[in-house]
Structure 1
Amino acid sequence: MSASPVAVLVFTILWGVVGIVLPFLVPKGPNRGILQAILILTAATCWLFWLCCYMAQMNPLIGPKLENTTLLLIAREWGKEVTS
């Protein structure tokens, strides 16, 4: 399983707009710098969180736990008879 370039591109563009374009559209005021920093940090952290969750699904650390009888049944059905 590999990463879908379309999904990575779409979410990168989405968070890129939030972190790069929207800070320029913040109206002038006493808190403009804070709002710009909030938008940039939000975009960076949300994109990083999404990327980590997305990549973690490609190679999960924990797999399904199967009973021995289930494993023997799967082996028999797939033509790899297990002899003990």
Structure 2
Amino acid sequence: MGAAFFPILFFTALWGAVGIGMPIMTPNGPHQNLIRCILMLTAACCWLFWLCCYMAQMNPLIGPKIKRDALAMIAKSWSGNTLRDA
């Protein structure tokens, strides 16, 4: 299972709008540069966090722990064989 194109495109566009579009619309004032910096850092960090979580779901490091008895029942019901027969 690989990455789907639409979620990556959607969230990249969303956080790109926050990081590029919103700093352009900041009002003039003494803290304009600070607000722009905050918006760009927020967008970059949120996008990176989302990307790491999305990629971690594609190849999880920790899988479910199934007991041997349950595994034998699953193998028997799915294939008709037991673990000893395989």
TM-score normalised to structure 1 length: 0.94
**In the alignment, which residue of structure 1 is the partner of 2:12?**
12
CA distance in 2, matches of 1:82, 1:71: 8
1:11-33 deviation per Cα after TM superposition (whole angstroms, max 9, x unaligned): 00000000011101000100000
1:46-82 deviation per Cα after TM superposition (whole angstroms, max 9, x unaligned): 0000000011011111111111101111111222432
Residue correspondences, number = 84
Q: Runs of at least 4 residues of structure 1 off by over 6 A?
A: none
Superposition pairs of residues 1-84 of structure 1, within 5 angstroms: 1-79=1-79, 80-83=81-84
Q: Which moved more, 1:43-52 or 1:67-76?
A: 67-76
Ranges in structure 2 where 5+ consecutive residues have no aligned partner: none
CA distance in 2, matches of 1:31, 1:50: 28
Ranges in structure 1 where 5+ consecutive residues have no aligned partner: none
1:4 CA drift (Å): 1.2
